[in-house]
Structure 1
Amino acid sequence: MPSFLLSSRHIGAFLLAALVVLLFPGQGSQTYAAQVQDMPPGTVGHCFDGDTLRFTDRRVVRLAGIDAPELGAPLQKAGYYAREARKLLSATVLRQRVRLLPAGTVHRDNYGRFLAEVLLPDGRSLNDLMIASGAAFFYPHNDLDSRLQERLLAAQQEAIRERRGMWEHVLAQPVAEKTYLGNRQSLRFFPTDCPEAQRIKPRNRVHFGTLMDAFMAGYAPARICPFWPTAHQ
């Protein structure tokens, strides 16, 4: 008898919770709504590179889930296709009023930049466009929305198969035929001869026979032991 009463109470609590959801359907989306409210639209005034822009109100936005080749410091050589990526981003979005969508559970990075999906006035995703054009690669994170990650990876795989943008040149370089070691926890990969690669725990190691294999699998290059060709190669 006591167990029956306890079960009845649990059922009653469940029915009450269900009733609240039915009567107040907007409550479950309050968190998302608050996130959107925290990211008001803005007009793009400057593009730093192929994945970061600044609004005219001084807010800085990092396109979530993508990474463009590095322009480098003044005395360093730019990465291959870095200038082309910034040129494409500028031509597409400069002086445009865009909307921001939360891209995951983290809304700002360590530099205070907004992490977001950027929607153009016609509704297209700028994040998608940069990947699909071969001007940036997919940069996964555990805190990113899974649907966004799936979409960006699919766009990258198609760009690689079609050899769009940077991929035609990069995949024809000697680095494309080297072997790489990925970390299934961080989803980053290293050249196999990189000392940091040997620190990956054996159970987390993923072996890639070519550079294309690593990118097609949705892994991104680690910052350590860089191998990306320069703009002059």
Structure 2
Amino acid sequence: MRKKSIRLLLGACALCCVCFLLQGTSAHAARYVRAVTLKNVQAEWIPDGDTVHLRSGEKVRLVGIDTPETGKDGKPAQYGAKAAKKRLRHLVKGQQLTIRSVKPHRDKYDRILGEVFLPNGTLVNELLLREGHAYYYWFKGLPQQIKSRYRNAQNQAILGGAGFWPHILDKPLSQAPWVGNRRSRRAFPKGSYHAKRLSPRNQVLFLNLREALLKGYSPSRQYSPWREKAQKNLRKVLYRAMKSRYKL
């Protein structure tokens, strides 16, 4: 009888622990799927060209775009990083902003993934693309309407030579052949390690980075053309890419 009581008690304790863990997991998951709309909020700090820290303490990552990386941990800032940060700060400083999140609503750093609107209705994400301060960054869950709108804004900037595009697309690495991944919409220099690992059925060949960008692909961060000082391994990548130019 005593052993039976002990077993029942242990079973009850185990059940309580499981329920507690599930409740905590559900609450955590719910936080990341809940839509967020913030109105009449103000920016407190702009750390880079695609992030806004609000006075409320929330952090907003502008969804669907990426900007050159600012220098940190001893690494130099990428080309156009300072200009993108300055432009974003100029746009949002002192403004009553509206923030609308886009699925999955938050990233792994708990930042709101969203679109930022100015009082006159201007969409900051799109404006940065149109002015050539940012590039379109595709991901699977991005709504089709946003994909089309952002891609068109970027294409206008590329074709019009806005912002950083003339400098970026004039680089030897950008003019070499690139290979796109159909599934991730990322592009890699032809002949690079990551390009070689792509399944043939997922490969899309481009004459250069410009063609890849106009098709909605974005360069993989491992081979970012915004780096002013190319890493040693990128020299080998460039050599292989240029060597394979006539093998497309």
Where on the TM-score scale, by shorter chain, does this alignment land: which range? 0.7 to 0.9
2:24 is matched with: none
Tell me the distance in 2 between the aligned counterparts of 1:189 and 1:59.
32
Say whether the 8 Å CA contact 1:109–1:115 is kept in structure 2: yes
Alignment of 1:1-233 (within 5 A): 35=35, 38-41=36-39, 42-103=41-102, 105-230=103-228
Mean CA deviation greater in 170-179 or 137-146: 170-179
| 5+ residue gaps, structure 1 | 1-33
Which amino acid counterpart does residue 97 of structure 2 have in structure 1? V
Which amino acid counterpart does residue 222 of structure 1 have in structure 2? S
Higher helix share: 2
TM-score normalized with structure 2 length: 0.75
Tell me the distance in 1 between the aligned counterparts of 2:224 and 2:117.
31
TM-score normalized with structure 1 length: 0.80
Which amino acid counterpart does residue 169 of structure 2 have in structure 1? L
Say whether the 8 Å CA contact 1:196–1:224 is kept in structure 2: no
Tell me the distance in 1 between the aligned counterparts of 2:121 and 2:112.
19
Say whether the 8 Å CA contact 1:45–1:95 is kept in structure 2: no
Say whether the 8 Å CA contact 1:194–1:225 is kept in structure 2: no
Say whether the 8 Å CA contact 2:101–2:112 is kept in structure 1: no
| 5+ residue gaps, structure 2 | 1-33, 231-248
Which amino acid counterpart does residue 156 of structure 1 have in structure 2? Q
Say whether the 8 Å CA contact 1:44–1:53 is kept in structure 2: yes
1:103-143 Cα shifts (integer Å, max 9, x gaps):
3x310011111000111111010001100000000001111
Tell me the distance in 2 between the aligned counterparts of 1:129 and 1:60.
20
Say whether the 8 Å CA contact 1:183–1:200 is kept in structure 2: yes
Which amino acid counterpart does residue 86 of structure 1 have in structure 2? K
- What is the CA-CA distance between 1:221 and the residue it aligns to? 1.4
- What is the CA-CA distance between 1:157 and the residue it aligns to? 0.4
1:127-180 Cα shifts (integer Å, max 9, x gaps):
011000000000011111110110000000010000000011111221221111
1:15 is matched with: none
Which amino acid counterpart does residue 202 of structure 1 have in structure 2? P
1:171-221 Cα shifts (integer Å, max 9, x gaps):
122122111111010011111122011111110001111110011111111
Identity, % of aligned pairs?
A: 35
Determine helix, strand or coil for the equivalent of 2:226. coil
Say whether the 8 Å CA contact 1:69–1:82 is kept in structure 2: yes
Aligned-residue CA RMSD (Å): 1.6
